[in-house]
Structure 1
Amino acid sequence: MLYLKKIVIALILVITLTTLIGCNQDKSSDSDAKTSTVNVVGSTSVTPIATKLAEEFAKKNENIKVDVQGVGSTPGVKAANDGTADIGMASRSLKPGEKEWNLTEHVIAYDGIVIAIHPNNSITDIDLETAKKIFSGEIKNWEEIGGKDEEILVVSRESGSGTRGAFEDILKLYEKNSDGKKISIVTKDALIADSNGAVMANISKKENAIGYLSLSYLNDSIKDLKINGVEASVQNILDNKYKISRPFLFVTKGDISEGGKEYLDFVLSDEGQKIVGEKLIPIK
């Protein structure tokens, strides 16, 4: 009799353990099923703020992972169009051809583009016409604008960069061909950098360099130039005094995932825009 009782107790324990393990596995599966990833791809200028917003969003949304990748505005817009990204990032307005893709543009912020040089360079101010002549290669030596007798090294962004597109549009650094297509006139001698960080790194290491990058990347390793006597600042851009600025866009197509919608809503919320306002110009 005692032997049978031991067998029954052992069976009960086995059944109980099996049930508990099964329940835990079901709970784990339920948790995994609820976890989703939002892919945000595009402009390297937008990447820092998109990443910061994703970090804050994650604190309140543990089951939604936002993966931000900086690859450039044009690839980002294409990724949103072909569905390989939930959200594309662009640091420029959409091009006419892109507007035909039935994309939805969400302006999340405005940003200034600064013209930057090495801190040891004595130049402090420049006008837009002079800047155009430098970046097109018409002015080739710093001595021509009051600096040292040194050849100017122009640092520009790669083709497809939103920062480059906006910069060329504002300074009119282009010509139109017979089909009306804009052709860049940035000097062919320019050193091409594939990100804002790369532009900054080159300028910080080369005393005769000049380039352009997002205001949000500015630090003490480089020096930004005033434009027509006006410093690049959030307030000056809001007051329309600083003329080199552009929109930061999130781009979507059709219905997006629930996680993507929640992240976008957070970005455009008062809380999200407060974070945007730490370095950029919020839309609210």
Structure 2
Amino acid sequence: MERKSLIAIAIIGILAGAFITWTAVGVFLGETITEEEDDEEITLYISGSTTCFPIIVRCAEEFEDDNDEYDIAVSGGGSSKGISDMINGLVDLGMASRPLKSSESSIAGMAQLAFAADGIALAMSAGNTHFSSGVPQWTMEDVLKVFNGTYRYWSDVPDCSGSEQIVLVGRDSNSGTRASFEEITGLEDDDGYAEIVGGTHSWQTIAELTSNGAVHDAVVADKDAIGYIGLGYIDIEVDTIDLYNDAGPSGPGYYQATTANVKSGDYPISRNLYLIYRYAIPGDAEDFVDFIFSSKGQAIVEDEGFVKI
């Protein structure tokens, strides 16, 4: 009897040990699976406008700080690239500094969502010597004549001086900033400008650069150059030109390229900045888009020198 009792006790001990072991393994495995599920990474791909780029990068950095599972990859390349990438399913969101063209919006599901506003400033090096009297003030006709080759030398431009030829700096064909600038100023329908960008003008040319930052650096480096940039790229290294608006809410007058004047509608060359998507904001991107429109995200918009929605 004693032997049988000992055997029974041993069996019970083995079974109990096995139960404890399997329970521990189950708990361990359960914790491992839970941790893997909790740590599952969500990757978002966003591409497009170099104007939108600094805003979205800042938003991504702050959003990732509070959401460890997110990895947001943001790249530039211009508005047209962001829209094309969205059409071809290469990104979760596109960025554009112009609205969708009719040829783009007609593609099934293509949609846009404005998240900020911006002005396009005419910029020159702060070291230029061509402004003869204080802050330069131009009409939209002056802008046309500078960029379509009617004015050849700085002395041809009202309130300017100098025998040097005007050096034009612009953006490449992928740029939403360029598209907005051409549309608002009327350059898109100007024959002289078409010859310049087409390389067939008799004497004038234009540098077609890939980003706002590149245009900024080009005009800073050349005191005879003029280009156009988004508000967020204005700094002490450039001077900007006040533009006349005869239909501004504050009345006719010359208005500086500032966030206040864009917000009021007085500065004449302004546009919205857009997120581009297809059919609907992807589920994984909804929280990030909500962050962009939150008070924190819109504070970043303003901190980067743009106008909140």
Q: Under a length normalisation based on structure 1, what TM-score does the superposition of the two structures give?
A: 0.86
Distance 1:206 1:51 in 2: 29
SS in 2 for 1:277: helix
* CA gap 1:176/1:192 in 2 versus in 1, 3 angstroms: closer
Give the Cα separation in 2 of the matches to 1:176 and 1:137.
Answer: 11
Q: Which residue of 2 aligns with 1:83?
A: 89
Aligned to 2:291: 266
Partner of 1:213: 229
Measure how far apart 1:174 and its partner are: 2.1
Q: Deviations over 1:223-249 (max 9, x none)?
A: 111113311111111221110101100
Q: RMSD across aligned C-alpha pairs, in angstroms?
A: 2.5
Per-residue deviation at 1:50? 0.8
Q: Offset at 1:25?
A: 4.8
- The offset of 1:271, in angstroms, is 2.7
> In the alignment, which residue of structure 2 is the partner of 1:171?
185
2:199 is equivalent to residue 192 of structure 1: no
Q: Which residue of 2 aligns with 1:63?
A: 69
1:143 is displaced (CA, Å) by: 1.1
Alignment of 1:1-284 (within 5 A): 25-33=32-40, 35-101=41-107, 102-121=109-128, 122-123=130-131, 124-145=136-157, 146-175=160-189, 184=194, 186-187=196-197, 188=199, 189-228=205-244, 229-278=254-303, 279-283=305-309
In structure 2, C-alpha distance between the alignment counterparts of 1:157 and 1:176, rounded to whole Å: 17
Structure 1 residue 175: Cα displacement:
2.6
Q: 1:214/1:186 Cα in 2 relative to 1: closer, same or farther (>3 Å)?
A: farther
- Residue type matched to 2:143 in 1? A
User: How many matched pairs?
Assistant: 269
In structure 1, the gaps of 5 or more residues are 1-7, 178-182
Q: TM-score scaled to structure 2, two decimals? A: 0.79
Q: Would the alpha carbon gap of residues 239 and 255 (structure 1) be closer, same or farther in structure 2, given more than 3 Å must change?
A: closer
Contact 2:77/2:174 (8 A) holds in 1: no
Deviations 1:128-159 (A, max 9, x none): 11111111122111011222110111001001
Aligned to 2:202: none
CA distance in 1, matches of 2:302, 2:26: 52
Unaligned ranges ≥5, structure 2: 1-13, 200-204, 245-253
State the percentage of identical aligned residues: 29
